[in-house]
Copies of this chain bind each other. A is one copy, B any other.
Amino acid sequence: MLKQSNLRMTRQRMVILEELRKVNTHPSADEIYEMVRKRLPRVSLGTIYRNLEILSGSGEIQKLDSGSSLKRFDGRADCHHHIRCERCDRLDPGVDLNTCVRDFTDFSVIGHKLEFVGVCPDCRRSSEAGLPAANNHPED
């Protein structure tokens, strides 16, 4: 899976992936650092960040935008959903849409955020021409 892009499966990368898949919560980079440190005491935070970026880029894990400015990570890469408490920010990590349409969670549902993900026309064009992504349109 990593091979396609000249990526190596290092001990650190492997342990990060294993630890992340061991839990069903959504740890932050720093929490993952603590988890990994128990097995690889000399690992550095920089390595954690670099690998989380790589692993989510290659689709092995998911990067979540939590409400706060702190990013959280999900060892599951398959499509699933969450519900977040708007007061304490706690996530219920395993909302299965098929089931929850029938059975309500123990949260009171107030509303939802829905965001489509796609490719914009500019990027589609540069992609066809073999170029990197278009400018970042910082005004959005």
Q: Which residues from chain A sit less than 8 Å from chain B, CB to CB? A: 23, 25-28, 31, 65-67, 69, 71-72, 79, 81-93, 95, 97, 105-124, 127, 133-140
Contacts and interface: CB of A to CB of B under 8 A. Distances in A.
22 contacts: A65-B65, A69-B69, A79-B111, A83-B116, A84-B117, A85-B120, A85-B123, A87-B123, A87-B134, A88-B135, A89-B140, A90-B120, A90-B122, A90-B137, A91-B140, A106-B121, A108-B124, A109-B116, A109-B117, A110-B116, A113-B113, A114-B115
A54 B69 CA distance: 16
A107 B83 contact: no
The 3 closest A-B pairs by CB, nearest first: A87-B133, A107-B118, A85-B120
